[in-house]
Amino acid sequence: MDERPVKLACRSVWKVFGGGAAGLFAGGGQPDDAALGAGNFIAAVRDVSLEVLQGEIFIIMGLSGSGKSTLVRCMTRLIEPTAGAVLFDGSDLLKASASELTNLRRHKMGMVFQHFALLPHRTVLGNVGFPLEVQGLSKPAREAKALEAIELVGLAGREAYYPAELSGGQQQRVGIARSLVVEPDVWFLDEPFSALDPLIRREMQDEFLRLQAVLHKTIVFITHDFEEAIRLADRIAIMKDGRIVQIGTSEDLVLNPASPYVEEFTRGIPRTKVLTAAAIARPAGKGPFAGTVPAEAKISTLVSEVLSARANAVFEVKDSNGRAVGQLSAKDIVAVLSTEAEAP
């Protein structure tokens, strides 16, 4: 369906904690629950395979203890996976030497942390310039770049402040600027907004979408908040007990949950915010059409326009290339709204 190249992929990645865990994979096979239990092993990540496409926002969603943080650290090799392969631009990250890994991290990866992880003894400018400093850039060069990044996240004028003088939201902006200053290919965000107040969280999510609209990074985003996931994601992977339960767009998850566990998550989610016009469109008739709606538009954005038209008006649904994919009417929207009202 999507022809974009794969930027980052996991192939049967395992992370098993406990002494001698590597022995479990000795014969090339994979351990079962009995083998794990017998050795008092803890498998934080089990047989995870996934592909992150160039330029997409890939969200890994799971409750605490589901292994999502361990998985993202396996993808950056902050934690050494016990078995499997992590392909970065097609080559296995786990086979990279220490210096190759350092180089990849310096130039190709950026990471944002839940608790910001700013260096308390450095100013905003010093923090944002830090990744360039360890690369050995001269002071004027790194300060010029750092100032650009600070400007980008809207903190211009605060360069001389220390982290302790900033609010949580501002601190995370510094974290974002710092991770972007090296212009990474892949951007990892580990629950970046979880430590913030709900209002600020919302604001930062908007900011994140704004940045992505400009930057088009390949993004791996970790969260435990399903609403955040559907708001930001191109695709979502849901994790439970170290395994991936389902990967799909938010629409896929809502319309076709792979298990009761996934369904449980999607239950409280307003359908109108997840479903697109294309998802509820019927085969297009002859017309006449009262108007045109974009295929990728969420229902919630169409409600007022469609319902305020005259009673039997039919709208044509067109994709971004201008091709007609179907039609929808006020009745179809009301149907979505009413299932939502019935939902517990």
Partner 1 sequence: MSAAYSMTTQWPAGLSRWALIWGGLALVTVGLFLLKDDVGWAFKYPRALIWPLKFWISDFMKWLINDLNFILFTFKDFTRAVSWVIEQPYWLARNLLATGFVQGFGLEAETVWPRLSWVGLTGLAVLMGVYAQGWRLGLLAGACFTYLAVFGQWDSAMVTLSSIVIAVPFGVAGGLALGVAGYRSRRVKKVLSPVLDLMQTVPVFAYLVPVLLLFGFGPVSAMIATIIYAMPPMVRITMLALSKVPAEVMEYGAMAGCTRRQLLWKVQLPSAMSSLMVGVNQVVMLSLNMVIIASMIGAGGLGFDVLTALKRLKIGEGVEAGLAITLLAIALDRLSQAYARRPPPAHGARAEGFFRRYPYLTAGFGIIAGTWVLGYGFEAIAIYPKDWQVTTGLFWDNIVRWININYFDQLDGFKNALLLNVMIPFKRFLLSLPWVAVVGMAALAGLRLGGWRLGLLTGAMALFPALVGLWPKAMVTVYLMGLSVVIACLIGIPIGIAAARNERLHRIVQVCIDTLQTLPSFVYLMPVVMLFRVGDFAAMVAVVAYSVVPAIRYTDYGIRNVPAHVIEAATQSGCTRRQILWKVQMPLALPEIMLGINQTIMMALSMLVITALVGTRELGQEVYIALTKADTGQGIVAGISVAFIAIIADRLIGAWANKRKKQLGLA
Residue 143: strand, helix, or coil: helix
Q: Are 339 and 310 in contact (CB under 8 A)?
A: no
105 versus 318: smaller Cβ distance to partner 1: 105
Q: Please, are residues 93 and 10 in contact by the beta-carbon 8 Å criterion?
A: no
Closer to partner 1 by Cβ: residue 69 or 205: 69
Minimum distance between the CB of residue 53 and partner 1, rounded to whole angstroms?
A: 22
Smallest gap from residue 94 Cβ to partner 1 (A): 15
Our CB check for partner 1 shows the closer of 143 and 316 to be 143
Smallest separation, CB 155 to partner 1 (Å): 12
Of 68 and 73, CB closest to partner 1: 73
Cα 67 from Cα 50, distance rounded (Å): 14
**Smallest distance, partner 1 to C-beta of residue 109, A:** 6
Contacting positions for partner 1 (CB under 8 A): 73, 76, 78, 102-103, 105-107, 109-111, 113-117, 119-123, 130-131, 133-135, 158, 160-162, 164-165, 178, 188
Based on the number of CB atoms within 10 Å of its own CB, is 46 exposed (0-12), middle (13-18) or buried (19 or more)?
A: buried
The tokens of 21 are what?
């865990």
Q: How far is the CB of 256 from partner 1 (least distance, A)?
A: 36
114 in Cβ contact with 189 (< 8 Å): no
Structure tokens at 276: 């697109």
Token look-up 């939902």 returns 343
Radius of gyration of the chain (CA): 23
User: At closest approach, how far in Å is the CB of 344 from partner 1?
Assistant: 35
Closer residue to partner 1 in complex, CB, 135/256: 135
Smallest distance from the beta carbon of 144 to partner 1, in angstroms? 17
Contact 320, 296 (CB under 8 A): yes
- Residue (86 or 314) nearer to partner 1, CB: 86
Q: Which residue's CB is nearer to partner 1, number 108 or number 202?
A: 108
For residue 124, the minimal CB distance to partner 1 (Å) is 8
Strand arrangement of the beta sheet that strand 91-92 belongs to:
42-53, 6-17, 83-88, 91-92
Chain-centre distance of CA 128, in angstroms? 23
Give the Cα separation of 154 and 43 in Å (integer): 41
Judging by DSSP bridges, how do beta strands 314-318 and 324-329 pair with one another?
antiparallel
Which residues are within 8 A (CB) of 161 and not within 5 positions of it... i.e. 6 or more apart? 123, 124
Q: Return d(Cα 302, Cα 292) in angstroms, integer.
A: 11
Nearer to partner 1, 34 or 164 (CB): 164
